[in-house]
Amino acid sequence: MESETLALAQEIDFSMWGLFARATFTVKIVMLMLVIASFWSWSIIIRKHFMFRAARTEAASFDRSFWSGEPLDGLFDKIGPQPAGSSEKIFASGMIEWRRSHRSDGGLIAGATARIDRSMDVAINKEAEALQKGLGVLATVGSTAPFVGLFGTVWGIMNAFIEIAQQQNTNLAVVAPGIAEALSATGLGLLAAIPAVVMYNKLSADSDRIISGYEAFSDEFATILSRQLDS
């Protein structure tokens, strides 16, 4: 009897596709949701990796140009009022407000420093929003995927016990497939959640460092303009 049971168990397909094919409709939906969430997370991770690397490269390049000794008006005329780079956009927003603050007679309109600071803050907030876009998806997947997988496991085990009761048989060939199908949902949940949590923490830290660099540049630029105002 035991040899027959083992022979039946060995004939069962325990591959992921086999487990998915035998799973109930609800567990299949759970598995599909987790697979889609995993691919969605990895697409965000890869896209953010290239975005952050490009942002760091652009910031370093603009920093060299800014501190090269070239006049600020000349640098602004070179990059234009609508540049592509994030650091350039922050610089351009400050320079645009700086030029708008001059009257036709060459004098400055009162409150120029505050307006320049606000203009650059708005530009920084826009760039920060672009950098952090999508990170909320990683946080959501990381926090909910294990519970979604657990739901699939609970549902699968419940149906496995129902099948045992209907067949009135607790042989390995009857019990193993249902339990394996149920646990595969938890496995997929962890597979989706762990990379999402790890990369969310890393990308959030990288984003904060880039934004801190923008804010530091804004303060330095505002200080330079303040010196020119005082002089």
pLDDT digits (tens, 9 = 90+) for 193-219: 999 999 999 999 999 999 999 999 999
Out of 55-69, 129-143, 169-183, least confident range: 169-183
Burial 153-191 (b: 16+ CB within 10 A, else e): bebbbebbeeeeeeeeeebebbbbbbebbbbbbbbbbeb
Angle at 123 (CA atoms; ends 79, 50), nearest 5 degrees: 75
pLDDT at 231 over 80: no
pLDDT digits (tens, 9 = 90+) for 85-94: 999 999 999 9
Contact 65, 54 (CB under 8 A): no
Alpha helices in the chain (DSSP H): 2-10, 16-22, 25-66, 72-79, 86-100, 112-132, 135-167, 172-230
The whole-angstrom separation of Cα 143 and Cα 137 is 10
The whole-angstrom separation of Cα 41 and Cα 43 is 5
Mean pLDDT of 163-174: 68
- Cα 178 to the chain's mean position, in Å? 35
The pLDDT score that the predictor gives to residue 9 is: 46
Mean pLDDT of 158-187: 74
Tokens 């070179």 label which residue? 78
The whole-angstrom separation of Cα 47 and Cα 50 is 5
C-alpha torsion 107→110→116→122, nearest 10? -140
80 Rama sector, left if φ>0, alpha if ψ -120 to 50, beta otherwise: left
Here the tokens at position 216 are: 């530091």
Confidence of residue 160 (pLDDT cuts 50, 70, 90): confident
In the chain, where the domains are located = 30-230
Task: Indicate the SS3 state at residue 171.
Answer: coil
Confidence of residue 163 (pLDDT cuts 50, 70, 90): confident
